[in-house]
Amino acid sequence: MVAFLPTCKATARVVIFVDIICQSLVSQESFTRCAVFQIEAVRTSGLRGLQKNVDMVEDAQPCNLYREVLILQHHTDIVRALVKVDDHRCISAGDDCTAALWDIEDGRKLNVFSGHKLPINCILLLKPEPGSYDDILLITGASDKHIKVWNIETGQCLEDITEHNSSVKCLASLPAFDIFISGGEKLCAWSRKGKQLHQVENPGKADIQFLLPIKENRFVAACEESLYVYTVEYCGDSCEIKFFKHLFRQHREAIGSLINVPDGSFASGSLDGLIVLWSSHTLSAIRQFNQIKEEKEFRGIDNHYPFSIQHMISPEKGCIFAAVGNSIYVFDITKDQGRIIAKKQDAHMSKIKHMDFLYHGLYLATCSEDGAIKLWGRAPAEKNDKDYFMNPLETFTGLSSDKIRKLKKSETVEPCLLGECLGHSGAVQLFVDFGEEGFVSCGGDGLLILWKDGVLQNLKRSQFIGEMTGATQSSYTCSTLTGLSRPIFTGDDDQATLRTEESPSD
């Protein structure tokens, strides 16, 4: 299903409803009514921790560039995994035991990978070395205790691995050795072709949930509230995983996020709200953030864990963006005090599941159990050619790096809500950015939704029509219709862009 959302009032509004299986065009109001009808049910269906002061977009969303959507249908259950293959393709996988390869330019389903008997928990791409003629391989790990190796171009299953012998919870690659690792009740190392190289027992009482490669041929495994470090020794066709260190326990509850940080460290976040920054070299804790001392407070009512860390990103040195319950926190990790640079309390009605930057850093996007995807950043300003070259933190806060450094400890920046993308009827699990081509989201409703820049799509259609009819078409550098600058094509002015949007067939 395609939903075309007009970009300005002068644009003729198209309202054509077709069954969701078919291709159809609907207006912004019509699509929003359909989406909101289902989303409101999610938001008011007894979700714990609902907030009355959550920001909502009430107007026509002039700052939201994503005004055209494409519904990608295949999955019949929750879609939990989504990975970007290249600039034009992605792979999704979920509880219906299948994975699918998609072309995000037109929404075509290119391949289906079926064969698992229970839900797929994790997926991994193994890309060949530069200059190699090897194909990109897809690795899927499922609750049926199988790991399958696929050729993504042909859809063929190259290897069905059964030696893992337990539910596969996570996968990680070690590109330096051209091998991958699987985690669950045990840790296993595998060659690119699926041959088992080594297996070690998990020292924890629960399954390993996260694997994170770090420096010096090491990787970290997260098991409940504990972190274990392993080394990999690889020589020829032999490989050995060796237990190296059990990191001193910092977390009181299960770890929910584990990421690398650009300055040579890594960070872990847990249900109790604590974020710990670790050195990748010394494997010691550098500092802590968001520590909540009282157990009653971090557990919340009925063990809801209102401050739990579901996801973190570190787009540049010196800061960590964290989903803390239903709020957004940005921590300055260069200072011992753990200063909060920016904060948006109650950003969603329920917990944030995923966050990342979209459109070359133009937006910080968050998705939540409440079914909404929200776009955050600074308030629209006058056109500034330097805006596009700002780093993600500057774009998000609207402040230069120098001004951010001069902020007092008591001063925090509050981002503006620039737009909402409403389309899922259940929790939105995660999304993947494709720059000018838009982004893809997946959710508990079994759908993938491809969100497109409406202005750019109009221009592409105008150029295509011009090429077909022989008419002369202008080219463009950037559009500032919303007060937000982003690259589109090369060439002329914004007035020409406006005329093209209002009369795309001219």
The 10s digit of each residue's pLDDT in 158-169 is: 999 999 889 999
Contact 46, 24 (CB under 8 A): no
Q: What's residue 234's pLDDT?
A: 81
Contact 485, 383 (CB under 8 A): yes
Q: How confident is the model at residue 52 (pLDDT cuts 50, 70, 90)?
A: low
| Domain spans, the chain | 459-502
Using a 10 angstrom Cβ sphere, with 0-12 exposed, 13-18 middle and 19 or more buried, the burial of residue 216 is exposed
| Cα radius of gyration rounded to whole Å, the chain | 23
**pLDDT tens digits along 192-238:** 889 999 999 988 889 999 999 998 789 999 999 999 999 999 877 78
- 501 pLDDT more than 50: no
Contact 28, 60 (CB under 8 A): yes
Of 244 and 52, which is predicted with more confidence? 244
The β-bridge partners of 151 are: 137
The tokens 């399958």 sit on which residue? 148
> What is the DSSP pairing of strand 372-377 with strand 157-161?
unpaired
Which among 282, 187, 182, 179 has a CA at the least distance from the CA of 230?
187
pTM > 0.95? no
Measured CA to CA, the distance from residue 17 to residue 15 in angstroms comes to 7
**pLDDT tens digits along 299-331:** 988 888 999 999 999 999 889 999 999 999 999
Of the listed ranges 31-40, 412-421, 468-477, the one predicted with least confidence: 31-40
Measured CA to CA, the distance from residue 192 to residue 236 in angstroms comes to 13
Q: What's residue 157's pLDDT?
A: 96
Of 14-28, 202-216, 382-396, which one has max mean pLDDT? 202-216
Of 237 and 383, which is predicted with more confidence? 237
Half-sphere exposure of residue 253, counting CA atoms within 13 Å on the CB side?
A: 25
In this prediction, residues 348-373 reach a mean pLDDT of 96
Contact 334, 305 (CB under 8 A): no
Measured CA to CA, the distance from residue 131 to residue 335 in angstroms comes to 43
Measured CA to CA, the distance from residue 181 to residue 196 in angstroms comes to 10
Which among 335, 425, 482 has a CA at the least distance from the CA of 78?
425
In this prediction, residues 437-443 reach a mean pLDDT of 97
Q: Tokens for 88?
A: 């034009």
Query: What's the mean pLDDT when you consider all of the chain?
Result: 82
Q: What's residue 506's pLDDT?
A: 36
